[in-house]
Structure 1
Amino acid sequence: MTIDGKTAQAPRVLPSPSAEARSHLFGDRTADAYRKALALGVDAVASRVTDVRGPFTGISPDALAPEIEQVDLDRPLGDSAAALAELERLYLRDAVYFHHPRYLAHLNCPVVVPALLGEAVLSAVNSSLDTWDQSAGATLIERRLIDWTAGRIGFGLDADGIFTSGGTQSNLHALVLAREEAFARAGARSSEARQALLPRLRVLASGAAHFSVRKSAKMLGLPMEAVVSVDTTADRRMDVTALRREVDRLRAEGLTVMAVVATAGTTDFGSIDPLAAVADVCEAVGAWLHVDAAYGCGLLVSPTRRHLLEGVERADSVTVDFHKSFFQPVSSSALVVRDSRMMAHATYYADYLNPARMAERRIPNQVDKSLQTTRRFDALKLWMTLRVMGADGVGVLFDEVLDLAVAAHEMLADDPRFEVVGRSQLSTVVFRYRPSEEHAHLADDANLHAREALATSGEGMVAGTRVDGRHFLKFTLLNPRTTPGDIAYVIDLLAGHAEQFVEAATAAGAARDGV
C-alpha cells in the first residue's frame, strides 16, 4: 500500500491484554513456561539454602518493611526471573531457615525432599479435597493415609479422620465432636436444650496444654471458665489424682465433663501425660478423651520410643502434626477418631456440592467430614515421603533429635553457668543463664537479652518461655543435622551475651550510684 508515493508499513499487531494474561495460565500450552519458571524458582531456593551462614540475618521489621511497602503491585515486572530477583531481596535473603543446624527455636522442622516433590505436584494439579469430582484419586490417597495413621495409633477398622491445616484446627475439630457427643448423651436435641446445657460443659486439660484448647472452647461458645486447668506433677505431666479430684468436683456441682485433653508432647517441656491412666478416668465417667499429639506423633514411627505413647489407642480422637515430627512442609496435620460415626457431627449437605444422594451412592466426599470446604491435597507430601523413604526412615530421624536433646540436657546440666528445668521426654530443653548470687536480680533481663542478641547476630536462634514466673530459654530440637558441637557453640554465645548484659547493667548501676 502506498500513500503519496511512499510505502506504508502495516501496523504492528500487539497481543491483547487478555492474551497476555492467558499466557500465564498453567496448562498444555504453557507447560514449557511452567518447567522453566519452576526451574528458576528451585535454583533460587537451592542457591540460597546452600549459602546461608546462619538461621537468620537478624533484620528488624522496621528495616525490611519500607522495602516491601515501596513495591508497586499495580506495575508488574513482566517475567519470572525479575520477580525472583526482587523476591531474593524482599524474602529469601532474610528468611528464617529451619534447615540450619543452629535454628533451635520453635517446633519447625527441616523438610525432606520427597515431601517437596509432593508439594510441587499438588500445587500444580491443584486438586481440591472437598469432593470426589474435584479430586478423584487424591481422595482415596488421603483416606489411605488416615487408615495408616489410625493403625499406627492402634485404632481398629472403625477409625476415620481428616487432614487439617494444623494442630489448632485439629484440636478445634476434636472439641466440636466432643461437644456434639455431650449433647447427644444428654438428649439435648432442641436448640433450647442445647443452649441450656452449653454453659455447663467443661473441658479439662493440664496447665501445660496448648493454648488452642482455650481458644477452641471460646470459638465453641463455651464460657470463659469452661476450660479447667488440672495440676501437673513435678515432671510437667498431668496429675491423674488431681484430674480425678476435678472430675468429682465438677460432677458434684452438676456440671458436665465434655472432654479431657491429654497432651503427648507439651510445647514447652516435651512432656507426655500418663495416657493410660487418663483414659481410665475418662472411661469411668464417660468423658471424651482427646490426645493432642501434635508434637509427639513422631513416636508413632520411632523404632525405640513408641512405648511413650502407651494408652493413645484408648483415645476418642488424636491430633497429629506431620509438619512437626514427620519433617513435612506446612501444612500437614490430621485429626483421627476411633469411631468413624463421630465424623458425622461435622456433616452438612449442599445440593451444589455434596447432595445427600451422593452419600447414598457411596461417593467418597471428604467435605462430609471436614470443617473446611476447599482443601489442599496436603496428604500427598506424606504419601511421597512414605513411598520414597518409608516410615522407618522418618522414625530414625525423629529418634536422632530425641537423642540430641538428651545430649543437650547433659551439656547444660554440667555447665555451672546454667540451670536446667526437668528432662524432656521429647526434644525440648528448658534452661536459663544463672548469674552469680550478687547479680541474681538481673537473671530475667539477662536471659531476655541473650535470646534477642543471639537472633540479632544471626548466628543462632532459640525460643523463650516463662517457668514459675521467671524467664527461661528453650531449645526445640527438630533438625537431625544439628550436632552437639552446634549446641555447645550456641550455649557459649548465649552465656557471652548474658555476661555482657550483666557487666553493662552493673557498670550502669555503679555510675548512677556515683561509685
Structure 2
Amino acid sequence: MPVPASGTAHLLAGGHGGPGVLRPMVDTVLDALAHGAADRGGPLPAGGPAAVDRRIRGAARPLIPDEGEGPHHALRTLVRALTHGAADPADPRCTAHLHCPPLAVATAADLAVSALNPSLDSWDQAPAACALEALTCRALAELVHPDGPAPDALVTTGGTESNQLALLLAREAAGGIGSPLRIICGGNAHHSIHRAAWFLGLPAPHTLPTPTGVLDPAALHTALDRLPDADAPTLVVATAGTTDTGAIDPLTELADVCDHQAATPHIDAAYGVVLLFSDILNKMPQGLDRAP
C-alpha cells in the first residue's frame, strides 16, 4: 500500500499549519471519491467479492512498502479503489440494510473531529468536546423525558452496548451478581438482549412469541402472572424499532402492564428514537418516557 512519504504530510492536522496541508489532501480525496463513484456506476461494484478483492489487492500492493509514494498518490489510489468497491447507500437505487447515507454537513464535521482528535475519557484531553458532549446528552435525554426532573444520558457505541448497560443497571438494582433478576422480552427483541444476559451471568430471558411482529401486552400480562418466583425483580424489554422491519412495540400499554405487575420496563430504542426528530413521525414511539 503506498503510504505518505516524509515531509509536509507529517504536520499535525489541527495545528497552525495543519489546515493548509490538509486542504489539498481533502481536494485529492474528493476527486478520488468522484472518480471512484463513476467507476462503480451504481449502488454496488460489479463482479462480486472476487472482483472487488482483486481490485483492492492491486491498489494496495505493496501493502507495507519500503519507500512511500507521497500522500496524494496514496489517497488518490486507495480512496478511488475503496469508493469503486463500496456499497453506496446514497445511490438512489440502493436500499440500505441498516446504515444510512451521511449528510454532507456530518461528513464535514467529522473532518474537524478527526483533525482535533479529542479524547473524551478526561476533561484535560478534550475540554470543549467534554462540555459539548454533556450538553448534547442532556438535550437528547430531555427529548425522551421532557417532564423529567433532571434527565441525562450517556453516549454508547450502539444498541448492543446500550442493552448491556441497561441489563447491568437492572442487575445491580436487583442486588448485583447472583441477583434473582428475571428478564422478559419478545421474539422481536434484538439478539444483544440474550447476549448481555449471558455475559452478565443472568438467567436466559423468557422470550415471548411475537407473531404480529410486536410484543403483545396481553401475552406479557399472562406471562408475568404465570412465571415462577412472582416476587423476583423483573425487567421487561420492549423494542422501539426492530432491525428487521422497524416495528415498534405498544410501549404505553406494555408500561401499564409493568406498572400493574411491579416490573421495570426497558425500551431498546436504538433504531427508532430518531423518530423524535421528525415533526410528522414523532408520535410513533409514544411511551419512551415510561422507561426509567
Higher radius of gyration, 1 or 2: 1
**Identical-pair percentage:** 37
1:73 and 1:54 map into 2 onto residues whose CA distance is: 28
Match of 2:232 among 235, 256, 262: 256
**CA 1:283–1:66: 2 relative to 1, 3 Å:** same
Residue matched to 2:191: 211
Q: Report the RMSD for the aligned CA atoms in angstroms.
A: 2.5
The equivalences for 1:26-175 within 5 A come to 26=12, 27-49=15-37, 52-68=40-56, 71-75=61-65, 76-88=67-79, 90-155=81-146, 156-175=148-167
Bigger relative contact order, structure 1 or 2 (CA pairs below 8 A, ≥6 apart): 1
Determine if the alignment matches structure 1 residue 20 to structure 2 residue 10.
no
Determine if the alignment matches structure 1 residue 228 to structure 2 residue 206.
yes
Q: Which structure shows the bigger proportion of residues in strand conformation?
A: 1
Determine if the alignment matches structure 1 residue 176 to structure 2 residue 168.
yes
Match of 2:214 among 237, 241, 266: 237
Shift of residue 247 of structure 1? 1.9
Match of 1:268 among 244, 254, 260: 244
Where has structure 1 moved over 4 Å in runs of 4 or more?
49-52, 66-70
Is 2:45–2:52's contact at 8 Å kept on the other side of the alignment?
no
The equivalences for 1:335-414 within 5 A come to none
* 1:371-406: CA deviation from partner (whole Å, max 9, x where unpaired): xxxxxxxxxxxxxxxxxxxxxxxxxxxxxxxxxxxx
- Identify unmatched segments of 5+ residues in structure 2: none
* 1:76-105: CA deviation from partner (whole Å, max 9, x where unpaired): 533122112321454211100000112114
Is 1:233–1:239's contact at 8 Å kept on the other side of the alignment?
no
Residue matched to 1:299: 275
- Partner SS, residue 308 of structure 1: coil
- Partner SS, residue 241 of structure 2: coil
**CA 1:64–1:305: 2 relative to 1, 3 Å:** closer
TM norm structure 2: 0.86
Q: Which structure shows the bigger proportion of residues in helix conformation?
A: 1
- Amino acid in the other structure paired with 1:204: I
- Amino acid in the other structure paired with 2:51: A
**CA 1:60–1:256: 2 relative to 1, 3 Å:** farther
Is 2:37–2:84's contact at 8 Å kept on the other side of the alignment?
no
Shift of residue 314 of structure 1? 0.9
1:264 and 1:308 map into 2 onto residues whose CA distance is: 9
Is 2:164–2:192's contact at 8 Å kept on the other side of the alignment?
yes
- Amino acid in the other structure paired with 2:196: S
1:73 and 1:276 map into 2 onto residues whose CA distance is: 55
TM norm structure 1: 0.51
Is 2:237–2:266's contact at 8 Å kept on the other side of the alignment?
yes
* 1:111-133: CA deviation from partner (whole Å, max 9, x where unpaired): 11221121011010000111111
2:28 and 2:80 map into 1 onto residues whose CA distance is: 16
Is 1:201–1:255's contact at 8 Å kept on the other side of the alignment?
no
- Identify unmatched segments of 5+ residues in structure 1: 1-18, 189-193, 317-515
**CA 1:298–1:50: 2 relative to 1, 3 Å:** farther
